[in-house]
A and B are shown apart, each in its own frame.
Chain A
Amino acid sequence: MSDIPTAAPPAATAESRLSRADVAHLAQLARLAVTDEELNLFAEQLSVILGAVAQVSEVAAADIPPTTHAVPLTNVLRADVVVASLEREAVLAGAPSVEDDKFRVPKILTEEA
């Protein structure tokens, strides 16, 4: 049987400790109705992960530009030409609920941004 490695990542620091409330807040932002058990489990697990990833701050990178793409492309554009859209039947086919050829959703609480 293979062994679990000994090389362990750095332990969670005080800054990367997440509380249940922190997790609840993140879950709310991400629209995840997490359960009570999950709050405990995730607080623990996310704290460990954050502790590990916080390692990036050890790297001196003040003057280093960020990389977003491996091959730096610019000005990738398309001509302003109309292309056929999907047939409406195909558009609505996968929808959980449809009315009047529109997507039906339950009552919205938050206001438009």
Chain B
Amino acid sequence: MTVTYGDAVAAYEPVIGLETHVELATASKMFCGCSTEFGAEPNTHTCPTCLGLPGALPVANEAAIESTIKIGLALNCSIAPWSRFARKNYFYPDMPKNFQTSQYDEPLCGEGYLEVEVDGETVRVGIERVHLEEDTGKNTHVGTSGRIHGADYSLVDFNRAGIPLVEIVTKPVPGTGAKAPEVAKAYVTELRDILRSLGVSDVRMEQGSLRCDVNTSLNRPGESWGTRTETKNVNSLRSVERAVRSEIIRQAGLLNAGERIKQETRHFSETTGDTRPGRSKEEATDYRYFPEPDLVPLAPDADWVEQLRAELPELPAARRARTIASLGVDADDLQQMANAGVVELVAATVEAGAPVGEARNWWTGYLAQKSNERDVEPADLGIAPAHVARLIELVADGSLSTALARQAVDGVLETGADVDAVVAERGLKVVSDVGALEAAASAAISANPDIAEKVRGGKLPAVGALVGAVMRATSGQADAAAVRSILLQQLGVSE
């Protein structure tokens, strides 16, 4: 019997955890001077160190250390006064040394937390640690499917090997109940926004500079936490939410049937929206960690840390609080905007000159609708707050009706051009010539005597059909409200 999500969260309590890898946007790699620029020809950004040639040695990138400390500070973490790199030993063809220089029991940043808002409630996600490591090369599998299973052979490009990677690990997060998927998504969203504001990474999930693994377990209320599974290949914010949701459903189904949850790594599928098992390992891998002898410890002194703290920009949470205060909207409106994920966008639109009410209406209305249709975040829709502010301005001064403004939005989304260009190109203009409107109104009345009779007889709503006729006659470019007044006036009826 298939379990519904509602059934699952009614019977079980989910516990989630997230592990995020962030590719830092340093100019050079973590342990050598090779360029980190994306998209270069294969194996053109490599050197003895990042190729793992015999005799090569690593030297740590100062900017990467600073970025990591800043991330830790932004996540309210303690910064270790003494920290070391460690070797994580395992064999894989994209690993030039067959060990990854990472951190083990002496990470650069210790415990911290990040607060996220979900449906008006604040959830504190504990951070276990933040540490620094290096990325691997990239395998391309050659065979019929392009995936590793059934491939005939593989090709390795080491351009990516050695790019600095920050790993952020949360503590397990219990108590989210049915909102576990939203909490997971909110966490990654907020984390992404923090990282973007720090300027330490491009944080493009689709490009791989922000990677997420999500852990999920279920337990009956009152019992200890269940076995958790790890889900990888979660490449977008929506996937984070879907992955948690689908794992909860899957695990609940198994538990209901009296089966055991296998501790395993699963892979999320964008196409099906569920997770499938990876190759199960007989035993947990023993990485045989030991302190990296080719590097010396990091001992960031208090002055350095404070200097970095002083360099932190205004973080998203603080900026939002300030934005909200400056917007001066009430709690319900604010909630509506937050739910649609558009608080920042509204604020930016206001900053570009629009009144807050209009800005809110557009972003929570037509633009939110468009975002849903296209399955993207409003911020990724393709229309900037400045465009929206311009639209609002054009409607306010009567150049565009709301209907025309929507056509202009569609034009911007289609062509990427700015509002004025779209308006000019498509000839979007309110017909404000009163004479033309009066003529069109008369024509509509003459063409629809029955409807005209009804309106004269007191059925005011019927005038809508006449308005529609005039709108069609003017290719939608008349101001509907003005048309309605003119019709009523001609029919001799008052509001």
Rounded to whole angstroms, the CA-CA distance of A106 and B62 in the bound complex is 38
Identify which of A75, A85, A107 contacts B47 (C-beta below 8 A): A85
Q: Is the interface of A mostly helix, strand, loop or mixed?
A: loop
Rounded to whole angstroms, the CA-CA distance of A92 and B41 in the bound complex is 13
Q: How large is the interface on B (under 10, 10 to 19, 20 to 34, 35 or more residues)?
A: 35 or more
Interface contacts (Cβ under 8 Å), in number, total: 125
Q: How large is the interface on A (under 10, 10 to 19, 20 to 34, 35 or more residues)?
A: 35 or more
User: Which B residues between 270 and 290 are near A, CB-CB below 8 angstroms?
Assistant: 278-279, 285-286
- Chain B nearest CB from A100 CB (Å) reads 6
Verify B62–A74 contact, CB threshold 8 A.
Answer: no
Rounded to whole angstroms, the CA-CA distance of A75 and B82 in the bound complex is 10
User: Which B residues between 156 and 213 are near A, CB-CB below 8 angstroms?
Assistant: 156-158
Verify B298–A75 contact, CB threshold 8 A.
Answer: yes
- Chain A nearest CB from B93 CB (Å) reads 5
User: Which A residues between 70 and 111 are near B, CB-CB below 8 angstroms?
Assistant: 72-86, 88, 91-92, 99-108, 110-111
Identify which of B59, B63, B155 contacts A102 (C-beta below 8 A): B155
For B278, the chain A residues whose CB sits under 8 A away are 111
Rounded to whole angstroms, the CA-CA distance of A108 and B91 in the bound complex is 11
Verify A108–B139 contact, CB threshold 8 A.
Answer: yes
Verify B296–A74 contact, CB threshold 8 A.
Answer: yes
Rounded to whole angstroms, the CA-CA distance of A76 and B60 in the bound complex is 7
Q: Is the interface of B mostly helix, strand, loop or mixed?
A: loop
Verify A81–B28 contact, CB threshold 8 A.
Answer: yes
Whether, in the assembled complex, A113 has its beta carbon less than 8 Å from a beta carbon of chain B, the answer is: yes
Whether, in the assembled complex, B295 has its beta carbon less than 8 Å from a beta carbon of chain A, the answer is: yes
Asked, given contacts A81-B27, A81-B28, whether A110 binds B92 with beta carbons under 8 Å apart, the answer is yes
Q: Can you add 11 more A-B contacts, CB < 8 Å, to A78-B60, A103-B155, A105-B153?
A: A29-B286, A76-B295, A77-B62, A78-B61, A79-B62, A81-B28, A83-B33, A85-B47, A102-B43, A107-B143, A108-B148
> Closest 4 interchain pairs by CB?
A83-B33, A80-B63, A102-B155, A77-B62
Residues of B whose CB lies within 8 Å of any CB of A are: 26-28, 32-35, 41-48, 51, 59-65, 82, 90-94, 139-141, 143, 148, 151-158, 278-279, 285-286, 291, 293, 295-300
Residues of A whose CB lies within 8 Å of any CB of B are: 29, 31, 68-69, 72-86, 88, 91-92, 99-108, 110-113
